[in-house]
Amino acid sequence: MNETTTTPATVNKIFRIGGDLPVHRIGYGSMQLTGPGVWGPPEDVENARAVLRRSVELGVNFIDTADVYGPNETERLIREALSPYTPGVVIATKGGMVRSGPWTATNPGMSFNGTEAHLRRAVESSLRNLGLQQIDLYQLHRADPTIPIEETMHVFRALREEGKIRHIGLSEVSVDEIERARSVVEIAAVQNIYNLTIRKHDDVLAYCERNGIAFIPFWPLHSGALAKSEAMAAIALQRGATPAQVALAWLLKKSPAIILIPGTSSLAHLEENVAASGIELADTDIEALDRLEV
Ligand SMILES: NC(=O)c1ccc[n+]([C@@H]2O[C@H](COP(=O)([O-])OP(=O)(O)OC[C@H]3O[C@@H](n4cnc5c(N)ncnc54)[C@H](OP(=O)(O)O)[C@@H]3O)[C@@H](O)[C@H]2O)c1
């Protein structure tokens, strides 16, 4: 990134993860690149690789994944499609859970495992799958309810000191859990559910913004529902945008600490989502969206 030519407008479009990894605030989430129920490979593997390659061509340089997507499928796809990585592309993955089957209405097919033995195996496996020497951002997918988060963070700190991971993130945590984690090691990012419909983590977002921590809302499109929202159609029409773009632009404007990772398996949706960075919502749009029942 050339600092001397960076305009204020582009500064606002970049977040420095951990203070040293500049990424565009529209990234890409890879969870849609699996089979149904986040299980097995995607039906169209070539399309999945094309989506990943196109994301980087479009300037996306923050890609989110997890070992339980597939499991291992999206990490391997990312390596196959993007390695050797373009300099500046930041890959974030997650560990601390185990997938034993597909996600269904009655069974998420996943369980916690925050033990040191599991986390060490998981990091080695993610490094191999992704073809990396070091993981830029390693996120605890969920705090294991049977292990104090401080204990898990001691393992993460050791992995960082060993050079296997560069920055540490958490997922679906409270302010209290972030503070407990930070008593052991620096936290660079928090990935919690957040979108126009679900705003229960407003306190976590404000905390992250105050403390220079990236806030990465997962389900930015409410798993696709916001892209179909009729309630947002009027604002979208006024801005010459789609409802999905309005939902993403609302998040971008909500806080400079937000980095987006919309998930898609479609090249057209990818182009549309990345173009949301060019959509400027007026304060009146924000007020209307804040009041909206979506
Ligand atoms: N930390 C966690 O526990 C956690 C949990 C869930 C997800 N995540 C991460 O967050 C990322 C985002 O979440 P997500 O993928 O579940 O949900 P999402 O981004 O809210 O929505 C994805 C859905 O929206 C559709 N979509 C995307 N762009 C669209 C567009 N422009 N127009 C219409 N439909 C569109 C996709 O379908 P198409 O494929 O047809 O475009 C897909 O069904 C994931 O990919 C993953 O990296 C993390």
Give me the pLDDT at residue 1, please: 36
Per-residue tokens: 221: 């499109």
Decide: 201 and 193 in contact? Cβ < 8 Å.
yes
Give backbone dihedrals phi and psi of 74, rounded to 5 degrees, phi first: -70, -35
Distance separating alpha carbons of residues 192 and 177, to the nearest angstrom: 12
Helix boundaries (H) for 131-166? 149-161
pLDDT level of residue 11 (50, 70, 90 thresholds): very low
pLDDT (0 to 100) of residue 3 = 37
* pLDDT tens figures, 237-270: 999 999 999 999 999 999 999 999 999 999 999 9
Q: What is the pLDDT of residue 262?
A: 98
Pairwise CA distance, residues 263 & 269, whole Å:
9
Whether 55 is in the pocket of ligand 1, judged by its Cβ within 6 Å, is no
**pLDDT given at position 4:** 36
DSSP 177: H
95's CB contacts (< 8 A; 6+ apart) are 66, 67, 118, 119, 122, 123, 126, 138, 139, 140, 141
Residues with Cβ within 8 Å of residue 7, at least 6 apart in sequence:
none
Average pLDDT of every residue of the chain: 94
pLDDT for residue 2 is more than 50: no
Report the DSSP pairing between strands 97-99 and 110-112: antiparallel
Cα of 46 to ligand 1 centre, how many Å?
Answer: 19
**Position 173 confidence tier, pLDDT thresholds 50, 70, 90:** very high
Tell me how far the alpha carbon of residue 146 lies from the centroid of ligand 1, in angstroms: 30
| Residue 120 alpha carbon to ligand 1 centre in Å | 28
- Measured by CA distance, the residue closest to atom 31 of ligand 1 is 269
Residue 33 CA to ligand 1 centre (angstroms): 10
Q: Is 32 touching ligand 1 by the criterion CB < 6 Å?
A: yes
**110 falls in which pLDDT band (50, 70, 90)?**
very high
User: In this predicted structure, which of 6-20, 49-63, 105-119, 245-259 has the lowest mean pLDDT?
Assistant: 6-20
Write out the residue range of the structural domain in which residue 251 sits.
3-291
Q: Do 236 and 246 touch, CB atoms closer than 8 A? A: yes
pLDDT at position 234, please? 87
pLDDT of residue 6 exceeding 70: no
Q: Compute φ and ψ for 91, nearest 5 degrees.
A: -110, 130
Q: Is 200 exposed, middle or buried (0-12, 13-18, 19+ CB in 10 A)?
A: exposed
Q: Is the pTM of the predicted complex or chain greater than 0.75? A: yes
- Cite the active site residues: 69
User: Is pLDDT of 232 > 90?
Assistant: no
194 lines ligand 1 (CB under 6 A): no
User: DSSP string covering 61-110, please?
Assistant: -EEE--TTTBTTHHHHHHHHHHPSPPTT-EEEEEESEEE-S---SS---E
Read off the pLDDT of each residue in 105-115 and give the average, rounded to a whole number: 96
Query: Is any ligand 1 atom within 6 A of the Cβ of residue 219?
Result: yes
Query: 179: which residues sit within 8 A by CB, 6+ positions away?
Result: none
Question: What SS3 class is residue 44?
Answer: coil
Atom of ligand 1 minimally distant from the CA of 273: 31
How many domains, in total, are found in the chain? 1
* pLDDT score at 291: 87
The pLDDT, as a whole number, for residue 91 is: 98
> Does any ligand 1 atom lie closer than 6 A to the CB of residue 64?
yes
DSSP category for residue 232: G
262 Cα nearest atom in ligand 1: 19
Q: How many CA atoms lie within 13 A of 3 on its CB side?
A: 2
Domain CATH code at residue 123: 3.20.20.100
What does the pLDDT read at residue 59? 96
Whether the predicted pLDDT of 160 surpasses 80 = yes
Q: What pLDDT was estimated at residue 292?
A: 84
- pLDDT attached to residue 118: 98
Is the CB of 265 within 6 Å of ligand 1?
Answer: yes
